[in-house]
Amino acid sequence: MGGCTNWLRKSLYVALVLAMVAPAGGCKQGPWALWSAYSSRFIDAQGRVIDPQGGDRTTSEGQAYAMFFALAGNDRLTFDRLLNWTRNNLASGDMSSHLPGWLWGKSPTGEWKLLDPNAASDADVWMAYTLIEAGRLWKAPSYSALGRQMMALIAKNEVADLPGFGLMLLPGPAGYVHQTSASLRSWTLNPSYVPLFLFERLAKEDPAGPWQHVALNIPRFLRLSAVHGFAMDWVSYIPGDGFYPSTGHPERDPDAPMGSYDAIRVYLWAGMIDAGDKQREELLGAVPAMSLYLADHDAPPEKVSDRGIPLAQDGPVGFSAALLPYLRSYAGLEKPRARQTIRLSMMKDRASGLYGKDQAYYDQNLALFATGFLEARFRFGAGGELRVEWESA
């Protein structure tokens, strides 16, 4: 009898937890508390997103994500501050002709400035997409015009035609094409840099551009680059030989190839694909191994080896958040979803409203994407268009 009682108690708890992450069903929600907590903690009055765990540095990725969250939360004042700071400090005052440099921080001489002018294409694509959608949703054509100008720069500087494969996004303008011999080149790519819905939306905005070709190649890219169904952080492409796990910068990165802090976003993006998207099943089918692992593990691994072997260390709380939309996309994974939801809930600091013992910047970004999506504060349509709760309200 005690066993039946325990089973019933556990079943009711699972049902309760799943109800907590169920879509809002069109009901008007209150203010986005996590975004408010995040912006208070990590964004200064100028509009600079600060990463305390990274020596108070600022990245173009952080600026891009915050711009997206500000749009999703209908926070135009913060959006403009973020945009202006990015333009003035990362893009030489003109984002129509300069892609933002990826890293700003304290130099060895103590000066705070742009440390690396090379762009990061994931940030660039997120910014261009967000500007396009900000112009549409806020009825402000100047945002969309800037987004289209960024698209032109991305197409010119960050898209490559890989021999034997097709068009794909490079991680940045410089440093990712390697001349290994007089007749042999290789390319370094990042699977987490290509959320399918972004490219589908950009393809509608610019049908003559490379976007549709990239979008059609993304599921195949993920499938061919995933080791035994696990996404990798970085991969190399060798024409005639295919994709292999690699490090981001082979010339200077001593770490072994793996799937970890970059790769976790591959599952997050896949989980947010609209159910009506024709490429959804192929995309999810490219990275099924994490769902199988979580069927009988309490937490996602922090690292997966280049042989597709999960390592023992549990990933941070942000990993659990990132995997919730992904797990929701598979039938029969209610218990794994509940376990990750419970882990996320237990690691929320009630005083600050942030997640994790260290309240790490990156964990909050993953949680903002995942919980904002699950709460239906934003969704991506079948054509990649952004749907926000406040628009219908």
Give catalytic residue positions.
61, 122
Give the single-character DSSP code of 176. -
Position 325, amino acid: P
DSSP string, 185-207: EEEEE-GGG--HHHHHHHHHH-T
Q: How far apart are CA 108 and CA 281, in angstroms?
A: 48
Question: From the centroid of its chain, how far is CA 8?
Answer: 37
Termini Cα distance of the chain:
49
- The set of residues, in sequence order, having a beta carbon less than 8 Å from that of 359 and lying 6+ positions away, is 41, 349, 352
The radius of gyration computed from the CA coordinates of the chain, to the nearest angstrom, equals 21
Structure tokens at 137: 């949703």
Name 378's bridge partners.
388
Count CB neighbours of 247 within 10 A: 18
